[in-house]
Structure formats: structure tokens, C-alpha cells
């Protein structure tokens, strides 16, 4: 009896380990089959490109979130960071219109520089108060979320800004491949290399596993945590501007709730909320593709708009539950 019990426990553990590592692919496959049966237009190359295009901005934000989660942090200000970056870009674009400067190469360089700087400023504020003043990451990013939201609303006076001029980059493509997807792939390869193949990435992993031990062996814990949040902020700023270009405007509800999709996508891709474990490829990217596939499929089914919040909540719940079970099972 004892042997049988041990075998059952071992098999259960192996099953859970398999599902934890490959379950997201199983779920993605099931979702694709299900939505394909409900709408014949779902499983087409055109719709696949639409899914990737929609996923790209959030995928970029998920890359940054991976770096924060790896050091056992969290940044729930990402959504409002996207909003603030996009709204300030919209204000800058409106100011450029009378000069006729808008639409040139240098105007785009200025616009995206604004997005990166604004996003970086929010990320740097998070990194500073968390790494130097030892704020709890959730509370610190909750505060910056409110600050970013307030600054955005005050700056825009709750006005909708139209950013159609960003469409050539956000909605354009080459050879049938959207530019935003190319940007996502390039950034994913770059940051996967940084996270997995450089001392910087290995030190981040060490901090996530045990910050005290990392400090003792000479790792600059505070400095690296700061840069993790800075990376997250910069990529959120870029993601916000690319997303704004896709919809053509920045309204007061723009990017609202995106932080939870970004976090759940990273966790679904295998990045742990407890730190010390994570990847960009295929991790965060397959997570955001799954989330976007579900939203796209529901849209094609003409699902109730209220159902999206339920599904989003369900995705977050499953992601956190699986990560918690894995952590308790010590399968790291």
C-alpha cells in the first residue's frame, strides 16, 4: 500500500510538472480548436497576423514585467504608465501639427523619445523608492499608478487626443508582417539574451532567489532592482505609444487594466511571482499570445463585453494559482 501511495504521489507530481511546463501550449491548442469551430475565419493567416499585431504592444510590456518579477517585485503601474506616455505623446503631436513637422522622420524620433523618457521616469520612480527606500513593491507601484493617472488626466484635461499619424508604424508592415511584431521579436530576442546570457540577467535571478545571499557575494542588489524597474517603465512607455497608434486615439480609459493582463501573461509563460525564475522566450510571449487569442476569439463570437472582465479575472486567477502550487511544490 505504501509503495502504491508513493507511486501515485510521484505520478501526480510528474503530471503537475508536465502541466506546469507545457500546459499553456495545451490550453492554447484547445482555444484555437474551440474558436475555429465557432468561426471559420478564426483559423486564417490574416487573423493570425491580427492576433500577433494586437498582442505585440502588451508583449513588449510583458518583457519589462518579466524583469521585475524575476527580482521578486511587481509593477501594477504599467497600465497607467502606458496611458501617461501615450497622452503626453498625443499632446506633443498636437503641438507639432501647426508647424508641418509632424510625420517626418525627426518628428517620429522625438515622439518615441518622449514615450521612452516618460515611461522610464515612471519606472525610475518605482525603482528608486523600492530599491533605496525599501517600499513594498505593490504599495510603491500602486502609488505611482495613481500619480501617473493623475498627471495624465491633468495634462490632457480628460480630453481625447487623436494619434492617427502613428498608424504607419503601429498598423503598417512589410511582407505581410506588421512592424510592431518585428519590434516585439527583436526586443524579445535581445532581452532574452540579456536575461539568460549576461551577468546582469544572472544577478537578477540570484536576487530573486535570495537577495541577502546575493548581497553577501557582492551583487549590487539595490542598483539592479532599480534597473529592472527602469527597463519595465521604458518598455511600458513604448508599448503605450504603439498601442495608441493601433487604435488611433488616447481616451481617459486607454490601457485601463492592462497591468493585470501583462502580469498574468508573464506568469502564464512561466515567470514566478516569487522571483528567481522567468524567461522572455517563449515565456512572456506565449503568455500574451494566449491572452490575446482568447480575447480575439471572444470578439469573433460576439461575446458580451461584460464577459471580458470575467475572462480576464479568470486568467489572472489561474496564473496565480498555478504559480503558487508550483512554488509550494518546490519544482524550481
What would the pLDDT profile of 154-200 be if each residue is shown by its tens digit?
Answer: 999 999 999 999 999 999 999 889 999 999 999 999 999 999 999 99
Residues of the chain with pLDDT > 90, as a percent, come to 63
Query: Which among 126, 116, 103, 125 has a CA at the least distance from the CA of 183?
Result: 116
Whether the pLDDT of residue 296 is over 80: the answer is yes
Measured CA to CA in angstroms, residue 86 lies from 160, 227, 236, 265 at distances of 11, 22, 10, 22
Residue 149 above 70 pLDDT?
Answer: yes
In angstroms, the CA 76 to CA 232 distance is 11
| Residue 223 or residue 277, greater confidence | 223
Work out the average pLDDT over 230-250: 97
Q: Is the pTM of this model over 0.75?
A: yes
CB-based contact 81:64 (threshold 8 Å): no
Q: Which domains are present in the chain?
A: 28-34+41-326 (1.10.3470)
Confidence (pLDDT) at 329: 43
pLDDT of residue 4: 55
272 pLDDT above the threshold of 70: yes
pLDDT at 325: 67
pLDDT at site 19: 62
Question: 263: pLDDT confidence band, cut at 50, 70 and 90?
Answer: very high
247's CB contacts (< 8 A; 6+ apart) are 254
Check pLDDT > 90 for residue 205. yes
* pLDDT confidence bin for 330, thresholds 50/70/90: very low
Read off the pLDDT of residues 33-55 as tens digits, 9 standing for 90 and up.
989 998 889 989 999 999 999 99
The pLDDT value recorded for residue 332 is 41
Residue 37's contacts (CB-CB under 8 Å, 6 or more residues apart) are: none
Amino acid at each position: 500500500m505504501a509503495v502504491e501511495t508513493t507511486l501515485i504521489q510521484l505520478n501526480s507530481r510528474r503530471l503537475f510538472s508536465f502541466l506546469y511546463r507545457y500546459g499553456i501550449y495545451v490550453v492554447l491548442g484547445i482555444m484555437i480548436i474551440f474558436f475555429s469551430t465557432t468561426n471559420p475565419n478564426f483559423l486564417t493567416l490574416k487573423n493570425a497576423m491580427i492576433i500577433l499585431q494586437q498582442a505585440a504592444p502588451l508583449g513588449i510590456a510583458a518583457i519589462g514585467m518579466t524583469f521585475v518579477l524575476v527580482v521578486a517585485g511587481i509593477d501594477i503601474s504599467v497600465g497607467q504608465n502606458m496611458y501617461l506616455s501615450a497622452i503626453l505623446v498625443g499632446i506633443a503631436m498636437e503641438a507639432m501639427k501647426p508647424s508641418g513637422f509632424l510625420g517626418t522622420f525627426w518628428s517620429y524620433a522625438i515622439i518615441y523619445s518622449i514615450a521612452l523618457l516618460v515611461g522610464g521616469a515612471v519606472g525610475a520612480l518605482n525603482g528608486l523608492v523600492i530599491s533605496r527606500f525599501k517600499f513594498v513593491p505593490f504599495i510603491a507601484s500602486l502609488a505611482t499608478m495613481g500619480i501617473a493617472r493623475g498627471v495624465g488626466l491633468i495634462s490632457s484635461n480628460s480630453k481625447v487626443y487623436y494619434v492617427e499619424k502613428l498608424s504607419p508604424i503601429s498598423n503598417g508592415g512589410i511582407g505581410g508582417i506588421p512592424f510592431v511584431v518585428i519590434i516585439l521579436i527583436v526586443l524579445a530576442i535581445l532581452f532574452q539574451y540579456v536575461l539568460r546570457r549576461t551577468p546582469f540577467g544572472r544577478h537578477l535571478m540570484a536576487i530573486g532567489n535570495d537577495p541577502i545571499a546575493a548581497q553577501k557575494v557582492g551583487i549590487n542588489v539595490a542598483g539592479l532592482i532599480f534597473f529592472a524597474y527602469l527597463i519595465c517603465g521604458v518598455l511600458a512607455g513604448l508599448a503605450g505609444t504603439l498601442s495608441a497608434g493601433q487604435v488611433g486615439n488616447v481616451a481617459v480609459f486607454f490601457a485601463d487594466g492592462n497591468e493585470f493582463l501583462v502580469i498574468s501573461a508573464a506568469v502564464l509563460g512561466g515567470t514566478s511571482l516569487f522571483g528567481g525564475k522567468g524567461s522572455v522566450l517563449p515565456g512572456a510571449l506565449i503568455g500574451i499570445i494566449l491572452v490575446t487569442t482568447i480575447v480575439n476569439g471572444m470578439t469573433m463570437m460576439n461575446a458580451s463585453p461584460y464577459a471580458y472582465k470575467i475572462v480576464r479575472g479568470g486568467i489572472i486567477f489561474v496564473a496565480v494559482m498555478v504559480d503558487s502550487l508550483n512554488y509550494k511544490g518546490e519544482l524550481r
